[in-house]
Each structure stands twice: as structure tokens, then as C-alpha cells.
Amino acid sequence: MKLAIFGGSGKTGRFLLEKALQQGHDVVALARTPSKVTVQHPNLTIIQGDSQDLTTVERVVSGADAVISLLGRINNAPEMMITASTQNIINAMRKFNVRRFVVVAGAGVGDPKDKPGFIDGVFKFLLGVLSKNAVTDMIQVTELVRASGLEWTIVRAPMLTDDPAKTTIREGYLGSVGVRLSREDLAAFTLQQVADIKYLRQAPVISN
């Protein structure tokens, strides 16, 4: 399978690229700074550019069987950067008739199936205070994805750690899972969703 990956140069992205290539996929990844991509493989193509540029995004998506986005915020700037990038990805997918779209978001983005507990509420309040713009950006991203008409899955993750993979994870919705998740486990679960339709057009939360 040929995968188009956005956000592959980040900490979680490195694990995603490695696992996708180990499983025999051909991967095209976008990177603003290609030198930050530490993975090297004959089946990996790196395209330099910005996900806010539609022409560049189209180069990445063209010919893909599925698209994975790990795009996330590293600051609380007011610009809705990830929303703009996600709209470009959706537009490119429609143009090239690519249907499967797996998107990673934070657990602070809600879902009707959530039954948040007290701790979940505290985290959501703190995120709203400290990272209001970043949270708003990701909420808008998930709204775009839900309305896209594509075959989407939104993987929502809690606090990410650099702990070794535990290989087994808890799946569900807020109120039934934990508050921490290793980046490697997130990468493995996200990649699994490309071919697994268990969570088709759903937005589960996963944790260790």
C-alpha cells in the first residue's frame, strides 16, 4: 500500500514511518525540514514543503491509497494552521479520489460517546486556559474531517510519553481509558487503522 504521511518528522512520526516501512508500505512524507526525518529507506520518499501550500500537499497525496495526518500544534498562536493544512489534505484527497484518512488529535477534542470523569474535566479546563487557540484549531480540524465525506478515523490520544511500547493498549472513549500513552503505541495503533474498519467514522481515545 502507498501511504501519504503528514507530520512524519515529529517524535511520533518517526515511529510511524519506521513501522509503515517495516510492514512493506511505500511511504511519501511531507517535511518542511527534511533533515529532521531520521528514517532512511528505499521505499521512503520525502517531499520538502509546507502543508499550508495546496500544490505541495497534492504532490504528497497523488497516487496514495491512504493518508495519515499527525499534524499538531507546537505553540498557541492564533492562526488556525492545522485547520488550513487539513483542508488542503481533504481537497487533495477529493481531487485524486483517495478515500481513507486517519487523523491523530488530542483527547481534549470531544466526542458524543465520551463520559468524562473529574480528571478529564480538569485536563480539559487547563487546556482551554493554557492552549485555547491550539485546542480550537484541533476542534476545527475534527469538524472538517467529520464533514469531509471521506472514510475517516480520528485517533484521540492523551498525554504522550517517550516510554517504551507496551504493545497492549486500552481503547474506548473519555471516562473509560487512562491519561498516558507511549508515542510508539500511538504510532502502531494509528497505522493499524489504515486497513481496520472497526473505528470507521469514529473517534476513539486510546491509552496505556
Q: What is the pLDDT of residue 192?
A: 98
What's the CA gap between 158 and 176, in Å, rounded? Answer: 12
Q: Are the beta carbons of 16 and 187 closer than 8 angstroms? A: yes
pLDDT above 90: residue 23: yes
The alpha carbon dihedral of 133, 138, 141, 146 has a sign of negative
What's the CA gap between 107 and 71, in Å, rounded? Answer: 15
Q: How confident is the model at residue 156 (pLDDT cuts 50, 70, 90)?
A: very high
Q: What is the pLDDT of residue 127?
A: 58
Q: Residue 9: what residue type? A: S
Number of C-beta neighbours around residue 144 at 10 A: 18
**Using one digit for the tens of pLDDT, what is the confidence trace for 88-108?**
999 999 999 999 999 999 877
Residue from 13, 16, 14, 47 nearest 32 by CA: 47
**Using one digit for the tens of pLDDT, what is the confidence trace for 173-199?**
988 898 899 999 999 999 999 999 999
Tell me the whole-structure pTM to 2 decimals: 0.93
Q: DSSP for 140-184?
A: HHHHHHHTS-SEEEEEEE-EEE-PPP-S--EEE-TTSS-SEEEHH
Residue from 134, 2, 136, 162 nearest 67 by CA: 2
pLDDT above 70: residue 37: yes
pLDDT above 90: residue 157: yes
The lowest-confidence range among 19-23, 82-86, 105-109, 200-204 is 105-109
Q: Which domains does the chain have, with CATH numbers?
A: 2-207 (3.40.50.720)
What's the CA gap between 116 and 122, in Å, rounded? Answer: 10
Percent of the chain predicted with pLDDT > 70:
89
Q: How far is CA 93 from CA 28, 149, 159, 191, in A?
A: 14, 11, 30, 18
Q: What is the pLDDT of the chain when averaged over all its residues?
A: 91
**Using one digit for the tens of pLDDT, what is the confidence trace for 119-150?**
555 455 455 544 666 788 999 999 999 999 99
Q: How far is CA 208 from CA 82, 122, 165, in A?
A: 26, 20, 9
